[in-house]
A and B are shown apart, each in its own frame.
Chain A
Amino acid sequence: MESRILRPTLALYTACFLLFLYGPMIVLAILSFQSIDGGPQFPIRDWSIYWYEHLLGLAETSRVSQLPVGESLIRSIVLAFMTTVVSTVLGVMSAEAFRTKFKGSGPAFYLIILGMMVPGVLVGLGMALLSNTLDLGRAWWGTSFVLHVVYTYPFAFLVMLAIFNRFDRTVEEASLSLGVSPAQTFRRVTFPIIFPGVLSAMLFSFTLSYDEFARTLFTAGRDLTLPLAIYGTFSVEIYPNLFAFGVLTTLFSFTLLVIYGLLMKRFTSKASRYKGQEDA
């Protein structure tokens, strides 16, 4: 009786919620197909892919200057990649350290987590002041990179902590008892088993760094990252080429997500068939 009303209601609610969630993106996607003489709003005068051509420099010259995103896109991807590598390595190493209780593990835990809790604007400002004081140049690959790591490392750390929490230590002991050194044991046993978690930590680090704004704003120096470059174009005038760019980056993110999904599936397929050992 109850589910006859409840389930459709919940379904409707979920549908509305998803629509609301993706509404902005849908609007953005539709507007990106605006014609050459149309503005960044409805109505659509005519459907075209002009703004995509414009974005990629394929359109004939127009009154609208090309979106200055090329280099900043590369910078953002490189920065996100550097951040991903460093944060994930740090996250895995520190989570491994936290498997055993050590002196000061409590304070150390909170100090790590603080990196994702403190307001980005404040940290960014602080870093800017610090680099001024120390007379260090600000750059996306220096000051911004450090802050991106400080920000994303706690996420990677927490993901890995959760993974290690469910990790059965006896498989490592089994490896040791077979005469395999601790380093080889990590490489041959621990790492393959925790790999799905490492992938998740990497995805977190990458996406958080890729669209980080507040921390980067104060510390990037002269060369801008993608979110800063896009923000910069707002101050002139908005054209639908920005929407076209939004659609393309979303597709890029989606591709990353699909790769993540496929890798996960590949590495957990064995583990999911693994029903645990007590059901002997």
Chain B
Amino acid sequence: MLTLSRVSRRYGETVALSGVDFVVPENTYMSLLGASGSGKTTLLRLIAGFEEPDQGEISIDGDRIDGQPSHLRDIGFVFQNFALFPHLTVAENVAFGLRYRAHAPLTKEAEIKDRTEDMMALVGLSGFGHRAVSAISGGQRQRVALARTLVCEPRIVLLDEPLGALDANLRARMCDELKAIRERLGVSFLHVTGSETEALTMGDKVAVLADGRIMQSDAPDMLFNQPGNAEAARHLNAWNIFEAGLCRGDVSSGTIAVRFDQMDVSAEGAAPQGRPALGAKYLTGEFNGPTALSFFRADDGTLLQVIDHLSQPRLPDLVEGQRYDIHFAPQALRQFHGAA
């Protein structure tokens, strides 16, 4: 179990992390969702020991690891650019840690070969061992990076946007494979990403990092359906967040959120009784294949999005620049306390 408590890190005047409290349980696929610049890479680098926190503690199973040199922490790291050793072959890359690590390196070539080949088979690289790392595709490099880390059996594996360098098809496939490989090995993964779909798909648990703090850490469906605060909701890219005062009808005050797919649109003044409604101008639509997004501008300038599914259309024909009533069921609303 990896535990971070009150971890802070500053770069001059810029605060990257301020008091992060975070737990990655045993045998868990943990996604960490954050926008670029939210400090998610910094967080991984602190855990790996490439940088040290200004304050706070990092520990694994109760042993403090902050302050320890990185090579003694027994933590795997998969880089966004894979960071393969360009002068070694695929097999040499995978065997690297076993052969040269400071703690209990393997000396028998036969054992190194066996373990390397087992791991390459697990990630689907059998038969590629003799290739130069420059002579394989992006997805295969990703597998080499993963195999190289996993073969050392680290206590936890940190993945820094591991799918960011892959194209979309490959990304979807690697998602499944990453999950399957992790389940087989039973080691915890901490996967950092800026993509909410990736975070929700992959994670047994998903944490949202914003403003240098963990905003919420929950199971994916829990997080998606009941974000605990506006920041968490904003990162899911599925919630309209706006002031309750915009609505007609009996609505509580403060900042509220309604999911894109739980909002309906009708002509101005035609909103059904009993449903909170607000007036907004239709801006434009965006066709995404199975779904269509419509963008509206509320009276105070807030941008609202309504999602419509192709098979079950529920929106009227919309004219750009015209005003409409947007309404939703009272129970669809989520209210946040405190500042947004």
Residue numbers of A with Cβ under 8 A of B are 168, 170-171, 173-182, 184-185, 188-189, 192-193, 270-271, 273-275, 277-280
17 interchain pairs (CB within 8 A)?
A170-B79, A173-B79, A177-B71, A177-B77, A177-B149, A177-B154, A178-B76, A178-B96, A179-B72, A179-B102, A180-B100, A180-B102, A193-B86, A271-B134, A277-B82, A277-B141, A280-B142
* Shortest beta-carbon distance from A77 to chain B in Å: 31
Further pairs besides A175-B100, A181-B102, A184-B102: 8, Cβ < 8 Å: A170-B81, A170-B83, A174-B83, A175-B85, A176-B70, A177-B70, A178-B149, A280-B141
Q: B48, B70, B133, B138: which contacts A280 (Cβ < 8 A)? A: B138
B83 engages A179 (CB within 8 Å) = no
Contact B102 A173 (CB under 8 A): no
Write the nearest CB–CB distance from A196 to chain B, whole angstroms.
Answer: 11
Q: How far is the CA of A170 from the CA of B77 in the complex (A)?
A: 10
Q: Are A270 and B71 in contact (CB under 8 A)?
A: no
| B97 proximity list for chain A (CB < 8 A) | 178-180
Would A277 and B87 count as touching, CB distance under 8 A?
no
The winner among B49, B77, B103, B137 for most chain A CB atoms within 10 A is B77
Asked whether A174 lies within 8 Å of B79 as measured between CB atoms, the reply is yes
Task: Check B85–A176 contact: CB distance below 8 A.
Answer: no
Please give me the residue from chain B that is nearest to A187 by CB atom.
Answer: B100
Q: Is the CB of A168 within 8 A of B76?
A: no
Docked pose: A185 CA to B84 CA in angstroms = 13
- Establish whether residues B87 and A192, one from each chain, have CB atoms under 8 Å apart when the complex forms: yes
What is the distance, in angstroms, from B242's C-beta to the closest C-beta of chain A?
A: 39
Within 8 A of A (CB), among B87-111: 87, 96-97, 100-103
With A168-B83, A178-B152, A181-B102: A173-B137 Cβ-Cβ less than 8 Å: no
Q: Which residue of B lies closest to A188 (CB)?
A: B100
B326 to chain A minimum Cβ distance, whole angstroms, is 41
The reply to whether A270 and B74 contact each other, CB–CB distance below 8 Å, is no
User: Bound complex: CA of A277 vs CA of B84, how far in Å?
Assistant: 9
Return chain B residues, CB-CB under 8 Å to A181: 71, 102
Q: Is B135 an interface residue (CB 8 A)?
A: yes
- Within the complex, the shortest CB–CB distance from A273 to chain B, in Å, comes to 4
**Interface flags, B38-62, vs A, CB<8A=1, else 0:** 0000000000111000000000000
Q: Determine if A273 and B79 form an interchain contact, defined as CB atoms under 8 angstroms apart.
A: no
CB-CB under 8 A for A278 and B165, given A171-B84, A176-B71, A177-B70? yes
Q: How far is the CA of A275 from the CA of B136 in the complex (A)?
A: 10
Across the two chains, which residue of chain B brings its CB closest to A273?
B134
Query: What is the chain B residue whose CB lies nearest that of A181?
Result: B102
**A174-B79, A270-B132, A275-B134 given as contacts; is B86 within 8 A of A180 (CB)?**
no
Quick check: is B207 within 8 A (CB to CB) of the other chain? no
Let me know if A178 and B148 touch, CB within 8 A: yes
Q: Which residues of A contact B76 (CB under 8 A)?
A: 177-178
Contact of A277 among B81, B100, B103 (CB under 8 A): B81
Residues of A within 8 A of B85 (CB): 171, 174-175, 189, 193
Q: Which of A175, A178, A189, A192 has the most CB of B within 10 A?
A: A178
Contact mask B109-148 → A, CB, 8 Å, 1/0? 0000000000000000000000011110111011001001
Report A275 CB to chain B, min CB distance, Å: 6
Most buried by B among A175, A277, A279: A277
In the bound complex, residues from chain A placing their C-beta under 8 Å from that of B75 are 177
Given A179-B71, A180-B71, does the pair A173, B83 have CB atoms closer than 8 Å? yes
Name the CB-closest residue of A to B148: A178
Q: List A contacts of B50 (CB < 8 A).
A: 173, 176
Residues on A with C-beta less than 8 A from B48 are 173, 177
Residues of A near B318 (CB, < 8 A) are: none
The A-contacting residues of B in range 167-190, CB under 8 angstroms, are 167, 170
Q: Are the C-beta atoms of B100 and A184 separated by less than 8 Å? A: yes
Contacts of A277 in B (CB 8 A): 81-84, 138, 141, 165
In whole angstroms, how far apart are the Cα atoms of A124 and B48 in the complex? 51
The distance from the CB of B134 to the nearest CB of chain A, in whole angstroms, is 4
- When the two chains form their complex, are residues A168 and B149 in contact, meaning their CB atoms are under 8 A apart? no
Q: Are the C-beta atoms of B96 and A180 separated by less than 8 Å?
A: yes
Task: Provide the residues of chain A in CB contact with B167, threshold 8 Å.
Answer: 280
The answer to whether A179 touches B139 (Cβ under 8 A) is no
Q: Which of B154-170 contact A (CB under 8 A)?
A: 154, 165-167, 170
A273: contacting residue among B70, B74, B81, B135, CB under 8 A: B135
- Report A-chain residues with C-beta under 8 Å of the C-beta of B154: 177
Q: Which residue of B lies closest to A278 (CB)?
A: B165
Residues of A within 8 A of B70 (CB): 173, 176-177
B1-38 residues with Cβ-Cβ distance < 8 A to A are none
Q: Most chain-A CB neighbours within 10 Å: which of B49, B71, B101, B165?
A: B71
When chains A and B are docked, how far (Å) is the Cα of A270 from the Cα of B93? 14
CA distance A60 to B124 in the complex (A): 75
CA distance A241 to B295 in the complex (A): 90
Q: Which residues of B contact A192 (CB under 8 A)?
A: 87
Q: How far is the CA of A179 from the CA of B138 in the complex (A)?
A: 25
Tell whether, in the assembled complex, residue A179 and residue B77 are in contact, meaning their CB atoms are under 8 Å apart: no
Residues of B close to A176: CB separation below 8 A: 49-50, 69-71
The smallest C-beta distance from A189 to any residue of chain B, in angstroms, reads 6
Which B residues touch A177, using CB under 8 A? 48, 70-71, 75-77, 149, 154
**CA separation between A193 and B133, bound complex, in Å?**
14
